[in-house]
């Protein structure tokens, strides 16, 4: 299996879903997934990123909305990991 251009993939899947890919930062999403996987449990990674995306969309979907959702979800994971 060859390397995948994740930035290109984000554009492809965003366009397929009718979403503007601007503001979606691959590294930030992957960092959130990593925190969720290590602070909660591995299957929490896709669930957490999905819920963060849903929250960002409901807030308006801007780059700031995406960033705020990622920050809030990361914080929730880190608090869970501290328990």
Do the Cβ atoms of 19 and 61 come closer than 8 Å? Answer: yes
* C-alpha pair distances (Å), 57 with each of 4, 10, 29, 31: 26, 15, 14, 19
- Residue 28: which of 3, 10, 2 has the closest Cα? 10
Do the Cβ atoms of 73 and 36 come closer than 8 Å? Answer: yes
**Phi and psi torsions of 62, nearest 5°:** -75, 170
Locus of tokens 């979403």: 19
Record the pTM. Answer: 0.89
- Per domain, the residue ranges of the chain are 23-82
The pLDDT tens digits of the residues spanning 17-67 come to: 999 998 899 999 999 999 999 999 999 999 999 999 999 999 999 999 999
Q: Report pLDDT for 80.
A: 87
């Amino acid at each position: 299996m060859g390397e995948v251009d994740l930035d290109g993939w984000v554009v492809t899947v965003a366009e397929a879903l009718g979403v503007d890919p601007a503001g979606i930062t691959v590294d930030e999403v992957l960092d959130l997934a990593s925190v969720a996987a290590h602070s909660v449990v591995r299957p929490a990674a896709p669930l957490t990123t999905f819920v963060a995306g849903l929250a960002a969309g409901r807030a308006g979907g801007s780059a700031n909305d995406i960033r705020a959702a990622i920050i809030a979800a990361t914080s929730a994971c880190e608090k869970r990991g501290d328990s």
